[in-house]
Amino acid sequence: MDKPYLRELSKPSLENPIFVQGLPGFGNVGRIAAHLLTKFSEAKPFAELYSPSFPDYVSISSKGICHLPKYDFYYAAMEKSHLIIMTGETQPSFDDVLAHYEVCSDILSFVEKQGCRFLVTMGGVPITEEKAQVYVAATSPRLAAEFMEKGAVIYSKGRIVGGTGLTLALAKERGLEGVCFLGATTGFKADRGAGYQVFKFLMKTLGKEIKEGSQEKTFKP
Amino acid sequence: MDKPYLRELSKPSLENPIFVQGLPGFGNVGRIAAHLLTKFSEAKPFAELYSPSFPDYVSISSKGICHLPKYDFYYAAMEKSHLIIMTGETQPSFDDVLAHYEVCSDILSFVEKQGCRFLVTMGGVPITEEKAQVYVAATSPRLAAEFMEKGAVIYSKGRIVGGTGLTLALAKERGLEGVCFLGATTGFKADRGAGYQVFKFLMKTLGKEIKEGSQEKTFKP
Amino acid sequence: MDKPYLRELSKPSLENPIFVQGLPGFGNVGRIAAHLLTKFSEAKPFAELYSPSFPDYVSISSKGICHLPKYDFYYAAMEKSHLIIMTGETQPSFDDVLAHYEVCSDILSFVEKQGCRFLVTMGGVPITEEKAQVYVAATSPRLAAEFMEKGAVIYSKGRIVGGTGLTLALAKERGLEGVCFLGATTGFKADRGAGYQVFKFLMKTLGKEIKEGSQEKTFKP
Amino acid sequence: MDKPYLRELSKPSLENPIFVQGLPGFGNVGRIAAHLLTKFSEAKPFAELYSPSFPDYVSISSKGICHLPKYDFYYAAMEKSHLIIMTGETQPSFDDVLAHYEVCSDILSFVEKQGCRFLVTMGGVPITEEKAQVYVAATSPRLAAEFMEKGAVIYSKGRIVGGTGLTLALAKERGLEGVCFLGATTGFKADRGAGYQVFKFLMKTLGKEIKEGSQEKTFKP
- For position A210, what pLDDT does the model report? 65
Contacts of A4 in chain B (CB under 8 A): none
Contact assignment for C65 to D169 by CB distance below 8 Å: no
Q: Is the pLDDT assigned to residue C147 strictly greater than 60?
A: yes
Q: What would the DSSP string read from start to end of C51-89? A: -TTS-SEEEE-TTSBEE---EEEEEEE-SSSEEEEEEES
Identity of the residue in B98, B144, B165 whose CB atom sits nearest the CB atom of D52: B98
Residues B214 and C143: their CA atoms lie apart, in Å, by 81
Identity of the residue in C54, C55, C62 whose CB atom sits nearest the CB atom of D156: C62
Q: What value does the mean pLDDT take over residues D148-174?
A: 94
Contact assignment for D60 to B98 by CB distance below 8 Å: no
Residues A20 and A41: their CA atoms lie apart, in Å, by 12
Taking CB atoms and an 8 Å cut-off, how many pairs form between chains B and D? 89
Residues A99 and C39: their CA atoms lie apart, in Å, by 42
- For position A214, what pLDDT does the model report? 46
Q: What value does the mean pLDDT take over residues B24-31?
A: 93
pLDDT band at B34 (very low <50, low <70, confident <90, very high): very high
- For position A151, what pLDDT does the model report? 92
Contacts of C101 in chain A (CB under 8 A): 1-2, 52, 56
Residues C109 and C112: their CA atoms lie apart, in Å, by 5
Contacts of A166 in chain B (CB under 8 A): 56, 58, 68
Closest CA in chain D for residue B93? D56
pLDDT of A17-41, one tens digit each? 999 999 999 899 999 999 999 999 9
Q: Is C1 exposed, middle or buried (0-12, 13-18, 19+ CB in 10 A)?
A: middle
Contacts of B160 in chain D (CB under 8 A): 57-58, 60, 66
Q: Is the pLDDT assigned to residue B215 strictly greater than 60?
A: no
Contact criterion met (CB below 8 Å) for A63 and A109 = no
pLDDT band at D95 (very low <50, low <70, confident <90, very high): confident
Identity of the residue in C100, C140, C148 whose CB atom sits nearest the CB atom of A65: C140
Contact assignment for B138 to D66 by CB distance below 8 Å: yes
DSSP B65: B
Three-state secondary structure call for residue C120: strand
Three-state secondary structure call for residue B57: strand
Q: Tell me the CA end-to-end span of chain B in Å, nearest whole number.
A: 32
Contacts of D172 in chain C (CB under 8 A): 66-67
Q: Is the pLDDT assigned to residue B101 strictly greater than 50?
A: yes
Mean pLDDT score of chain C: 90
Percent of chain D with pLDDT strictly greater than 90 = 73
Q: Is the pLDDT assigned to residue B219 strictly greater than 50?
A: no
pLDDT band at C13 (very low <50, low <70, confident <90, very high): very high
Which subunits sit against D, judged by 3+ Cβ pairs under 8 A?
B, C
Residues A125 and B20: their CA atoms lie apart, in Å, by 37
Q: Is the pLDDT assigned to residue D221 strictly greater than 90?
A: no
pLDDT of C47-100, one tens digit each? 999 999 998 889 999 999 999 999 999 999 988 899 999 999 898 887 788 889
Contact assignment for B97 to D66 by CB distance below 8 Å: no
Contacts of D1 in chain B (CB under 8 A): 101-102, 105, 170
- β-strand pairing of B71-77 with B82-88: antiparallel
Contacts of D63 in chain B (CB under 8 A): 141, 144, 154, 156
Q: For residue A184, which amino acid is it?
A: A
- For position B211, what pLDDT does the model report? 62
The highest-confidence range among C14-23, D88-97, D206-215, by mean pLDDT, is C14-23
- For position A49, what pLDDT does the model report? 96
Q: For residue D23, which amino acid is it?
A: L
Q: Is the pLDDT assigned to residue B146 strictly greater than 80?
A: yes
pLDDT band at A3 (very low <50, low <70, confident <90, very high): confident
pLDDT of A52-76, one tens digit each? 999 888 999 999 999 999 999 999 9
Residues A3 and A6: their CA atoms lie apart, in Å, by 10
Closest CA in chain C for residue D181? C64
Our CA-based measurement puts residue C96 at a distance from the nearest CA of chain D, in whole angstroms, of 10
How far apart, in Å, are the Cα atoms of A212 and each of A31, A185, C85? 20, 19, 59
Contacts of B101 in chain D (CB under 8 A): 1-2, 52, 56
- Residues of chain A contacting B, Cβ within 8 Å: 94-95, 97-98, 100-102, 105, 136-141, 144, 148, 154-162, 165-166, 168-170, 172-173, 180
Instruction: Indicate contact of D with C: 3+ CB pairs under 8 A.
Output: yes
pLDDT of A122-158, one tens digit each? 999 988 887 889 999 999 999 999 999 999 999 998 8
- For position B218, what pLDDT does the model report? 39
Contact criterion met (CB below 8 Å) for C182 and C160 = yes
- For position B209, what pLDDT does the model report? 67
pLDDT band at A117 (very low <50, low <70, confident <90, very high): very high
Name the residue with higher pLDDT: B108 or D92. Answer: B108
Substitution target from C60, C61, C65, C70 for chain D, most D beta carbons within 10 A: C60
Q: Is A42 exposed, middle or buried (0-12, 13-18, 19+ CB in 10 A)?
A: exposed
- β-strand pairing of D57-60 with D66-67: antiparallel
- For position A114, what pLDDT does the model report? 96
Three-state secondary structure call for residue C29: helix
- For position A211, what pLDDT does the model report? 62
- For position C221, what pLDDT does the model report? 36
3-state helix, strand, coil in chain C (%, to 5): 30, 30, 40
Q: What would the DSSP string read from start to end of chain D? A: --S-EEEES-----SSPEEEEE-S-GGGHHHHHHHHHHHHTT-EEEEEEE-TTS-SEEEE-TTSBEE---EEEEEEE-SSSEEEEEEES--S-TT-HHHHHHHHHHHHHHHHHTT--EEEEEEEEE-SS----EEEEESSHHHHHHHHHTTPEE-TT-EEETHHHHHHHHHHHTT-EEEEEEEEES-SS--HHHHHHHHHHHHHHTT-PPPTTHHHHH---
Closest CA in chain B for residue D52? B98
pLDDT band at A219 (very low <50, low <70, confident <90, very high): very low
Residues A186 and A181: their CA atoms lie apart, in Å, by 16
Contacts of B49 in chain A (CB under 8 A): none
- For position B123, what pLDDT does the model report? 95
**Helix orientation angle between C163-173 and C97-113, rounded to the nearest 10 degrees:** 60
Q: Is the pLDDT assigned to residue D121 strictly greater than 60?
A: yes
Our CA-based measurement puts residue B44 at a distance from the nearest CA of chain A, in whole angstroms, of 21
Identity of the residue in C53, C61, C62 whose CB atom sits nearest the CB atom of D97: C53
Our CA-based measurement puts residue A16 at a distance from the nearest CA of chain C, in whole angstroms, of 32
Residues C58 and D25: their CA atoms lie apart, in Å, by 15
Contacts of C150 in chain A (CB under 8 A): none
Residues D213 and D198: their CA atoms lie apart, in Å, by 15
Instruction: Indicate contact of B with A: 3+ CB pairs under 8 A.
Output: yes
Closest CA in chain D for residue B170? D68
Q: What value does the mean pLDDT take over residues B128-157?
A: 92
Contact criterion met (CB below 8 Å) for D64 and B147 = no
Q: What value does the mean pLDDT take over residues B195-205?
A: 92
pLDDT band at B96 (very low <50, low <70, confident <90, very high): confident
Identity of the residue in A62, A66, A96 whose CB atom sits nearest the CB atom of C160: A66
CA B157 to chain centroid, in Å, comes to: 21
Backbone angles phi, psi at A200, to 5 degrees: -60, -40
- Report the phi/psi class of residue A74: left, alpha or beta, with left for phi > 0 and alpha for psi in -120 to 50: beta
Contact assignment for C138 to A58 by CB distance below 8 Å: no
Contacts of D9 in chain B (CB under 8 A): none
Residues C152 and B81: their CA atoms lie apart, in Å, by 79
- β-partners of residue B178 are B119
Q: What value does the mean pLDDT take over residues C156-181?
A: 95
pLDDT band at B32 (very low <50, low <70, confident <90, very high): very high
Residues C207 and D9: their CA atoms lie apart, in Å, by 67
Closest CA in chain D for residue C2? D102
- β-strand pairing of B118-126 with B177-185: parallel
Residues D165 and D139: their CA atoms lie apart, in Å, by 11
pLDDT band at C132 (very low <50, low <70, confident <90, very high): confident
Residues A27 and D111: their CA atoms lie apart, in Å, by 56
- β-strand pairing of D44-50 with D18-22: unpaired
Of A42-46, B62-66, D127-131, the poorest mean pLDDT is in D127-131
Contact assignment for D161 to C57 by CB distance below 8 Å: yes
- For position D172, what pLDDT does the model report? 95
